[in-house]
């Protein structure tokens, strides 16, 4: 597809802006803590930008419409809405408790609760979850659609720019660029939706054409499926990206205000991207989009139809912003979890600030490079997210929520065991699905037949199987410690 | 009703994001680290 000169100018301007911020922030990095938690100076307006831009990546911009394109409005009520409850729990309950531990990272907080033995498994799972796989895959989709280039090349090019400014400026550059990226991503989605509803039509027009199942809030899903899908909404309670920002905040009041404002923006964002997916289904059904489009690219088909030159470039910059704001933030965490929480903690000689900074910067590069390597292995963007969220929840949900609830001090073994048990069982299941699983077109997910039980497991169940293992391990540790530390 | 919600969401993002961005710019000095 052909972009105009003004589109390229806007995209070029965006790249120049984020690289400029990286260079500016680089001069303000005095120590490793400056790099990791921006010296704990983030206030509400900066936090809103960084929460929204970091937590919502292209997995939402492309992945949510991909779901609503196939399943309708339940993409909002089943997949997105349960998250809002947990954002509020995070704001009102978990964040103040996390700050009170005085930690800088999630593994450090878990060490506070369960002793040094908890730090390594938490660092491993934090690092794995934080690999920015989904957003680099999204950059690939974007480059392929608009420029016709190989998705891997597009992912490498976009990933490289995010790596450069993050390596230069750490969390400060990350939070600053997030503010710019937040602005662009919100504005562009709003503009695209306004053009789409004006030029193509709103729900009142679509509803007559599409199957009524599309507009049932819970879709055609069974209660068990709804519980499985909506259980993923627990991830904000353990998401290391959200917690890093909580640790970097100046005060609890700043976090609360920022999370409440962010939740309002996330609801609006979700409602619009769900609309894009349903609009896409309508356009396909009414023959206005032909040629069996890839559901992941449905948003791009719509914006290409409705946006004029200039605004199209702005939308692409918005997508780049959405992806890169997630890549930079999570790459810092993936790297620091290994360097700061594992290497530094367990090395005999304390690593100097200079060495920590150097290793973390190398780690950021490796995290993005590895993410590009695995990004194109998944059938759908949402599948990759489910695998990573399942891993995080299986390993961290039980010990972290117990720790935040004040139960951690009662048994060190409980925390350490539950984390290892969740991590190992989730990893084993992920490999099981990769090696013996098949992709089911009907269920739109990977499945494994368990002949002995006469049942078929779907990949979304990984977390639900591994989580009880983690609970059992927690209880076993608790019993063995007899309630004593 | 659902169309009104689409317009409401457009307004929240279209107005909310610039307002918050301005707030961010005004409070940029927070990043200097002074309490």
Q: Which tens digit of pLDDT belongs to each residue from A189-225? A: 999 999 999 999 888 888 888 888 889 988 877 887 7
Q: Name the residue with higher pLDDT: A5 or A41.
A: A5
Residue of A98, A397, A423, A57 lying closest to A232 (CA atoms)? A397
Nearest Cβ partner for A202 among B3, B11, B35: B3
Strand partners, A398: none
- Does any CB of chain A come closer than 8 Å to the CB of residue B6? yes
Rg (CA), chain A: 22
pLDDT band with cut points at 50, 70 and 90 for residue A408:
low
Collect all residues of chain A within an 8 Å Cβ-Cβ radius of residue B27.
43, 45-46
- CA angle at A374 for the pair A336 and A266, rounded to the nearest 5°: 65
Spatial strand order of the sheet with A455-458 comes to A438-440, A445-450, A455-458
Q: How far is A211 from chain B (nearest CA, A)?
A: 16
Please tell me the distance from the alpha carbon of residue A398 to that of residue A243, in angstroms, as a whole number: 16
CB contact under 8 A, A41 and B27: no
Taking CA atoms, A210 is separated from A72, A77, A268, A272, A301, in Å, by 9, 18, 23, 18, 19
The conformation of residue B23, written as its DSSP 8-state character, comes to H
**Which range (A251-260, A438-447, A467-476) has the least confidence?**
A438-447
Mutation site for B-interface testing, chosen from A250, A271, A315 by largest number of B Cβ within 10 Å: A271
Between A445 and B9, the higher pLDDT residue: B9
Angle in degrees, 0-180, between the axes of helices A151-199 and A252-285, rounded to the nearest 10: 80
Q: pLDDT tens digits, residue range A36-64?
A: 666 677 889 989 988 898 888 877 888 89
A29: tokens are 């990095």
Query: Looking at residue A484, what is its pLDDT?
Result: 54
**What is the tens place of the pLDDT at every residue in A151-191?**
899 999 989 988 988 888 777 777 788 888 889 889 999 99
Q: Residue A223 corresponds to which tokens in the numbers above?
A: 């209660």
């Amino acid at each position: 597809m052909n972009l105009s000169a003004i589109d390229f100018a806007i995209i070029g301007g965006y790249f120049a802006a984020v690289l400029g911020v990286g260079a500016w922030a680089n001069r303000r990095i005095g120590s490793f803590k400056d790099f990791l938690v921006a010296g704990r100076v983030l206030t509400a307006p900066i936090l809103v930008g960084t929460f929204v831009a970091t937590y919502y990546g292209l997995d939402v911009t492309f992945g949510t419409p991909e779901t609503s394109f196939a399943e309708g409005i339940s993409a909002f009520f089943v997949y997105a809405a349960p998250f809002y409850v947990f954002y509020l729990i995070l704001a009102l309950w978990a964040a103040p408790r996390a700050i009170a531990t005085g930690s800088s990272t999630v593994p450090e907080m878990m060490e506070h609760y369960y002793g040094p033995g908890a730090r390594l498994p938490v660092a491993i799972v934090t690092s794995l979850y934080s690999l920015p796989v989904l957003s680099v895959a999204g950059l690939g989709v974007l480059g392929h659609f608009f420029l016709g280039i190989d998705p891997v090349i597009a992912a490498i090019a976009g990933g490289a720019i995010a790596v450069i400014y993050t390596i230069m400026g750490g969390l400060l550059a990350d939070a600053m660029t997030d503010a710019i990226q937040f602005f662009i991503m919100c504005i562009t989605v709003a503009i695209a939706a306004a053009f789409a509803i004006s030029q193509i039509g709103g729900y009142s027009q679509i509803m007559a054409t599409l199957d009524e199942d599309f507009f049932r809030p819970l879709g055609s899903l069974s209660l068990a499926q709804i519980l499985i899908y909506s259980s993923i909404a627990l991830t904000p309670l353990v998401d290391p990206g959200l917690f890093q920002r909580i640790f970097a905040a100046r005060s609890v009041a700043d976090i609360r205000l920022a999370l409440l404002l962010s939740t309002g923006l996330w609801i609006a964002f979700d409602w619009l991207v769900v609309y894009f997916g349903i609009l896409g289904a309508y356009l396909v059904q009414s023959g206005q989009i032909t040629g069996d489009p890839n559901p992941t690219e449905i948003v791009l088909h719509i914006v290409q139809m409705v946006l004029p030159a200039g605004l199209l470039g702005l939308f692409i910059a918005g997508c780049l912003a959405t992806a890169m704001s997630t890549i930079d933030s999570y790459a810092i965490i993936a790297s620091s979890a290994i360097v700061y929480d594992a290497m530094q903690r367990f090395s005999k000689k304390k690593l100097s600030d200079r060495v920590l900074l150097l290793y973390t910067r190398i780690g950021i590069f490796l995290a993005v490079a590895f993410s590009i390597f695995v990004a194109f292995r998944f059938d759908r963007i949402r599948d990759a997210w489910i695998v990573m969220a399942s891993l995080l929840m299986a390993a961290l949900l039980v010990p972290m929520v117990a720790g935040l609830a004040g139960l951690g001090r009662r048994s060190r073994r409980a925390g350490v065991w539950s984390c290892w048990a969740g991590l190992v069982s989730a990893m084993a299941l992920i490999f099981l699905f990769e090696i013996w699983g098949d992709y089911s077109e009907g269920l739109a997910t990977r499945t494994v037949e368990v002949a002995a039980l006469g049942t078929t497991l779907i990949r979304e169940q990984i977390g639900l199987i591994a989580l009880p293992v983690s609970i059992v391990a927690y209880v076993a540790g608790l019993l063995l410690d007899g309630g004593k530390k | 009703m659902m169309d009104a919600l689409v317009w409401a969401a457009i307004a929240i993002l279209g107005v909310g994001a610039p307002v918050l961005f301005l707030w961010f710019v005004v409070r940029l000095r927070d990043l200097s680290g002074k309490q």
